[in-house]
Amino acid sequence: MSAEADVRLTAWVHGHVQGVGFRWWTRSRALELGLTGYAANRPDGRVQVVAQGPQPTCQRLLDLLESGQTPGRVTTVVADWAPVGDPIDGFTER
């Protein structure tokens, strides 16, 4: 995968990340970076973040998710990289 290719990042964010503004914060950072995708609460307490765009930009979002500067408390982020999927309009909270 070339460094400039568009990719799909799926990040599973573990910790105290629901009910603390985490999805809103993630959406704001992703929009600032020009990414498309969504942040969704999962029934097990994790937040799933799916972002599409240039690989370096998706990496920047991942770095922000892991920075310790998010709402709530992130304990682990598990990232999966894949080729871009179907187009996603904007970046939403689900």
Residue 94 annotated to the active site: no
Which residue in the list 8, 27, 29, 41 is annotated as catalytic?
41
Sole residue written with tokens 């080729």? 83
Q: State the Cα–Cα distance between residues 68 and 81, nearest whole angstrom.
A: 21
Give me the catalytic one of 23, 27, 29, 60: 23
Calculate ∠ Cα 1-41-76, nearest 5°: 60
Assess whether 23 carries a catalytic annotation.
Answer: yes
Distance CA(8)–CA(74), nearest Å, equals 21
Specify the 3-state DSSP secondary structure of 2.
Answer: coil
Annotated catalytic residues are 23, 41
